[in-house]
Amino acid sequence: MYQEIDLDKIDINAEPPAEEPARQYYFMAKCREWVKDFEQQNGRLPKSCVTTFGCQMNARDSEKLAGILRQMGYVDEPDEEKADFVIFNTCTVRENANLRVYGRLGQLNRFKKKHPHKMIALCGCMMQEPQVVEKLQKSYRFVDLIFGTHNIYKFAELFVQCKESDRMVVDIIDTADKIVEELPNERKYSFKSGVNIMFGCNNFCSYCIVPYVRGRERSRNPQDIIREIEGLVKDGVVEVMLLGQNVNSYGHTLDTPMSFAGLLRKVEQIEGLERIRFMTSHPKDLSDELIAVMAESKKICRHLHLPVQSGSTRILEKMNRRYTKEQYLELTKRLRNAIPDISLTTDIIVGFPGETEEDFLETMDIIEKVRYDSAFTFQYSKRSGTPAAAMENQVEADVVKDRFDRLLARVQEISAEVCGRFKGGVKDVLVESVNDHDHALMTGRMDNNLLVHFPGEEALIGKIVSVKLEECKGFYYMGARVLNE
C-alpha cells in the first residue's frame, strides 16, 4: 500500500535517486515547484483530465495516473476542454478503439489551438504499436508526451522531461523491466477498488493483440497484494476486484509459486473486506481447487466471467484457445454443481477468419446450453501482427454483421430470462450511488453484478444492505430495502 510521503521534504536540487519508487517521488516533488509557479501566475491550480479507453486494467492504470497528478498538485477536471493537462489512456484490442482515439485527438487539437499552453499526453496499449507512434509523430505533432504500458510508473519523470523540452517526448519500451510498488493512486470509488494481481498475458490467442502490447505474464508477490488490500480496507473499501488478463494462471512465475486459489484463500482472511471479485478467467486454466474455494467462500461473489469466444471446436482451435466446446460445457457443469446459483458471463467473437455458418450455429448452440447472465459480443477485428490477421478466408463484413445481430438478439433474450430468476428473493446489495434519474432511489450491485434500484438515502453509499427484488426490468431490478433485525 502506498505510504503518505512528504514530498515537500524531498531535496529537488539534489540528483534524482536511482531506485524506485523514490525516484518518482523526487519528480513529483519537482512538479510541485512548477505547479506553485503556475498558481502564482494564474491565480488557480492547474487542472488535469484522465480519459480511459478500454478495460478494467486501463481503468486501474488511470487511477494511478490520477494519483500521481494529484501528488504533483493538479486538481481533477472532468471536462477535457477546460483541463490544462489531458491524458488519454488508450486501448487497441479492436480497431474501433483506435479510431475513437484518433477522433477524440482531433477534437483536443481544436481545444489546444484556443489554449496553446494545454498539454496532451497519450499512453496505454495503443502506444505499444510502432505504426501508431509513427503516425502520431507524423500527423499529430501537437501531442506533447507519449509513453506505453510498461513505463506508466515513470509518469512523473516523463512529465518533467516534457515540461523541460519543447519537442514531443516519446518513451516506449518493449518489455516490462520491473513491477514498481508503492506509488500513489486516486480511486474512483471510495468503497470498491480494482487490485492488479498480475500483468501481461502468455496465451497468444491468435486474434488478440494483448500479449504484444502488455508483454509476458508477471505476477505480483502475494505479500504486496495483501498489503495493498489491507490498506484499502482501512481506507473504507469493502469490495475488491482482482485484476489480470488470466487470473487463473496467477503465481506460476513467482519465485515461490502459488495458485490463484491459494491467493484467494489469503484474501478471504482479510478482516473488514466483504466482497471479492476477479477477472478474467481463462477456461483452460480454471482448476477444481478454484471451484472449491469459490464454493466454500463467504466473500467471493457468485459470479464468473468465463470468455468462451466461440462455440465451434474447430474455430476454438484456430483461435489457440486450447479447449473444446465439450470441455467448456463440462466446466460450466462442474461450476454449477458446486455453486448452483452462480452467474456466468462471457465474451464472444463473431466472424473469426474461416468461420462458416455451421461454426456460427455452434456458437448459437453453446449460448442455449450455458444460458449466460450476460455476454459481451464482438465482431472480429483484424489486429496487425497477430496470427489471425494473416489467415485466409477473412469473413465478409455483411456476413459478420448479420451473424452478430442474430447472436446479440438471442443473447439478450436469454439474458432477460436468466436475470429474472431472482425475482421475489432477497439479496445483499452494495450501494454505489444515488440513482441518475430519480434521486429518491439508490443504485446498488448484487454479487452477480446486476444493478438494483430501491428507495433509500445517500448515507447508504458504500454499505451492503439487504434488498427484496420486486420487479425485474430485463437487466436490472427494482426493489425495496429489507431491514435486518
Residue ranges that bind ligand SF4, judged by CB under 6 A: 201, 203-205, 208, 210-211, 245-246, 282
Cα-based torsion angle of the residue sequence 149, 155, 157, 160 in order, rounded to the nearest 10 degrees: 130
| Cα distances (Å, whole numbers) of residue 453 to 191, 352, 439, 475 | 18, 38, 11, 12
Full DSSP string of 51-92? EE-SSHHHHHHHHHHHHHHHHHT-EE-S-TTT-SEEEEEE--
The whole-angstrom separation of Cα 248 and Cα 261 is 8
The single residue among 275, 318, 321, 383 that binds ligand 5AD, judged by CB under 6 A, is 383
> Which backbone phi and psi does 420 adopt, to 5 degrees?
-70, -10
State in angstroms the smallest separation of the CB of 50 from ligand SF4: 23
Query: Which H or E run contains 252?
Result: none
State in angstroms the smallest separation of the CB of 202 from ligand SF4: 8
The whole-angstrom separation of Cα 321 and Cα 317 is 6
State in angstroms the smallest separation of the CB of 239 from ligand 5AD: 22
247 - beta bridge partners? none
Instruction: Please list every residue from 271 through 310 that binds ligand 5AD, using CB under 6 A.
Output: 307, 309
State in angstroms the smallest separation of the CB of 223 from ligand 5AD: 30
> From residue 70 to residue 99, what is the string marking binding to ligand 5AD with x (rule CB under 6 A)?
-----------------------xx-----
State in angstroms the smallest separation of the CB of 90 from ligand 5AD: 15
Rounded to 10°, the helix 357-370/397-419 angle is: 10
Full DSSP string of 268-304? HT-TT--EEEEE---GGG--HHHHHHHHH-SSB-SEE
Q: Which of the choices ligand 5AD, ligand SF4, none does residue 378 contact, using the CB cut-off of 5 to 8 A by kind?
A: ligand 5AD
The whole-angstrom separation of Cα 342 and Cα 421 is 12
The whole-angstrom separation of Cα 388 and Cα 394 is 9
**How crowded is the C-beta side of 315, counted as CA atoms within 13 Å?**
27
State in angstroms the smallest separation of the CB of 214 from ligand SF4: 7
User: Is the Cβ of residue 71 or residue 219 nearer to ligand SF4 in the bound state?
Assistant: 219
State in angstroms the smallest separation of the CB of 150 from ligand SF4: 16
Instruction: Please list every residue from 440 through 479 that binds ligand 5AD, using CB under 6 A.
Output: none
> Of the ranges 148-156, 282-290, 323-331, 375-383, which one interacts with ligand 5AD (CB under 6 A)?
375-383
Q: Which of the choices ligand 5AD, ligand SF4, none does residue 349 contact, using the CB cut-off of 5 to 8 A by kind?
A: ligand 5AD
> Of the ranges 224-232, 366-374, 378-386, 404-412, which one interacts with ligand 5AD (CB under 6 A)?
378-386
Cα radius of gyration (the chain): 23
Q: Does 60 bind ligand 5AD (CB under 6 A)?
A: no
Q: Which of the choices ligand 5AD, ligand SF4, none does residue 89 contact, using the CB cut-off of 5 to 8 A by kind?
A: none
User: Is the Cβ of residue 27 or residue 328 nearer to ligand SF4 in the bound state?
Assistant: 328
Residue type for position 464: I
State in angstroms the smallest separation of the CB of 94 from ligand SF4: 12
> Of the ranges 61-69, 169-177, 217-225, 374-382, which one interacts with ligand 5AD (CB under 6 A)?
374-382
Q: Which of the choices ligand 5AD, ligand SF4, none does residue 203 contact, using the CB cut-off of 5 to 8 A by kind?
A: ligand SF4
DSSP three-state, residue 396 = coil
DSSP three-state, residue 460 = helix
> Of the ranges 152-160, 359-367, 373-381, 404-412, which one interacts with ligand 5AD (CB under 6 A)?
373-381
Q: Which of the choices ligand SF4, ligand 5AD, none does residue 282 contact, using the CB cut-off of 5 to 8 A by kind?
A: ligand SF4
State in angstroms the smallest separation of the CB of 196 from ligand SF4: 14
User: Is the Cβ of residue 151 or residue 363 nearer to ligand 5AD in the bound state?
Assistant: 363
- In this structure, what C-alpha cell is assigned to residue 337? 454443481
Q: Which of the choices ligand SF4, ligand 5AD, none does residue 443 contact, using the CB cut-off of 5 to 8 A by kind?
A: none
User: Is the Cβ of residue 185 or residue 249 nearer to ligand 5AD in the bound state?
Assistant: 249
Instruction: Please list every residue from 336 through 365 that binds ligand 5AD, using CB under 6 A.
Output: 347, 349
State in angstroms the smallest separation of the CB of 377 from ligand 5AD: 9
Q: Which of the choices ligand 5AD, ligand SF4, none does residue 453 contact, using the CB cut-off of 5 to 8 A by kind?
A: none
Instruction: Please list every residue from 192 through 221 that binds ligand 5AD, using CB under 6 A.
Output: 207-208
Residue nearest to ligand 5AD (CB): 347
| Cell 494545454, residue located | 118
Name the residues that contact ligand 5AD, by CB under 6 A.
93-94, 207-208, 307, 309, 347, 349, 378, 380-381, 383
